[in-house]
Amino acid sequence: MTMHLLPERRRAIAFIFPAIIVVIAVAFFPLFVDTGRGWWLVFILAPASVVAVIICIEFRATAIGFDAHGVHYRTVGYSLDVPWSGIQFHANCGKPILCVTQGERHFSPWLGVMYGILHVLMPFRAERASRLMTQIPLYFFMISENDSVMVSNPPWGPATTK
């Protein structure tokens, strides 16, 4: 099975998350130092920095693979294993998207805990997040219309497009 990674220009987006934390730290450091609490910023931003680095690493490793059994998709915090019968191909505003109707979702430990907490505190948001996790944006992996992501998918074609 060949796993297709995001194109490098899309993978570069991952560095936005740690950059936001650095910008916040630089902007607020003088304010905290002036009040004599320079170390507080470290304690405030440390958890956010850890999550930002995890998101950055996992976003850069986002990949999609195809084999005889179906589609294998790995992204930030979770992965999907979907049989060919559990996939529907859609063109949303001309952008190809795979919609998962049945398959297995596997959470990373950190997102599994956060999703569990979200499910208890805000079930409507957890349900929306669950629906969003069933969409695989193929256009993220494409550079051109005849990219290897589209060519390596025999079950797809104009007859299956909705």
pTM value is 0.79
Instruction: Give residue for tokens 């390596």.
Output: 152
pLDDT exceeds cutoff 70 at 67 = yes
pLDDT of residue 142: 78
Domain ranges of the chain: 2-160
Name the nearest CA neighbour of 12 among 62, 72, 65, 73: 62
